[in-house]
């Protein structure tokens, strides 16, 4: 078995969606003063590598704590669009992957943008799904769709059509994945475990790809 970490490390300078505050780490207790070390962490629920729940965009949508833990684990496949000349992944671009998608419970859209993590370029220009492509993907029996970029929508979107299309079909969205090049198998088990907090609209995750050798 090989386990690949697909998670960015969260720290005070972690890139965040524009308008969001960066995480704050405060030393609450120290070994010298208290005999133990504890840190107070203040951050938004969609910081770093994270999951969007339907409740993120939809009034009355499912929260993460209402989803069985099995909903965060499953067979996954990576669709590589890192060499796509267009900035938009349309139906014609994604349909050739249909048979592979049918065998998976999670689909990961590889844009190659994780290499720009920490740079201004990370915040735009990555290939993103069209609303029509998202609607086509919503027709499959998927638990979730992930991307190695800051959003599954284009950064200029104000309506978040791709988010809403997927989340309205209870398809989870995983954003800010990384290290996809280290995954060697065509199919693997994806684990994206969120914190179990009440009525959660989203949560940072420790995402991992588990490959059989």
Q: What is the pLDDT of residues 55-77, one digit of tens each?
A: 999 999 999 999 999 999 999 99
Residues 16 and 34: their CA atoms lie apart, in Å, by 33
CA distances from 28 to 10, 12, 193 (A): 18, 16, 26
Domain boundaries, the chain: 2-9+45-211
Residues 13 and 148: their CA atoms lie apart, in Å, by 18
Longest dimension (CA), the chain: 62
37: confidence class by pLDDT, cuts 50, 70, 90: very high
176: confidence class by pLDDT, cuts 50, 70, 90: very high
CATH code at 2-9+45-211? 3.50.30.50
Q: Which residues contact 103 (CB under 8 A, 6 or more apart)?
A: 75, 77, 187
Has residue 86 got a pLDDT over 90?
Answer: no
Positive or negative, the Cα torsion across 66, 205, 188, 172? positive
213: confidence class by pLDDT, cuts 50, 70, 90: confident
Q: What is the pLDDT of residues 145-174, one digit of tens each?
A: 999 999 999 999 999 999 999 999 999 999
Residues 179 and 183: their CA atoms lie apart, in Å, by 8
142 vs 87, which has greater pLDDT?
142
Is the CB of residue 82 less than 8 Å from the CB of residue 93?
no
Rounding to the nearest 10 degrees, give the CA dihedral for residues 155, 156, 158, 162: -50
């Amino acid at each position: 078995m090989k386990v690949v970490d697909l998670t960015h490390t969260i720290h005070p300078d972690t890139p965040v969606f524009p308008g969001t505050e960066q995480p704050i780490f405060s030393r609450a207790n120290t070994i010298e003063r208290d005999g133990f070390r504890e840190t107070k962490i203040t951050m938004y629920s969609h910081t770093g590598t994270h999951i969007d729940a339907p409740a993120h965009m939809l009034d009355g949508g499912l929260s993460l704590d209402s989803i069985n833990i099995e909903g965060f684990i499953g067979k996954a496949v990576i669709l590589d669009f890192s060499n796509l000349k267009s900035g938009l992944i349309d139906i014609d671009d994604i349909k050739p992957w249909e048979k592979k998608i049918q065998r998976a419970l999670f689909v990961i859209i590889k844009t190659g943008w994780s290499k720009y993590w920490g740079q201004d370029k990370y915040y735009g220009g990555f290939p993103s799904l069209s609303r029509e492509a998202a609607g086509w993907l919503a027709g499959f029996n998927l638990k979730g769709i992930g991307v190695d970029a800051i959003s599954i929508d284009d950064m200029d979107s104000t309506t978040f059509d791709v988010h809403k299309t997927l989340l309205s079909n209870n398809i989870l969205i995983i954003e800010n994945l990384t290290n996809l090049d280290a995954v060697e198998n065509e199919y693997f088990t994806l684990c994206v475990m969120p914190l179990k907090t009440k009525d959660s609209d989203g949560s940072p995750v420790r995402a991992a790809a588990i490959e059989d050798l």
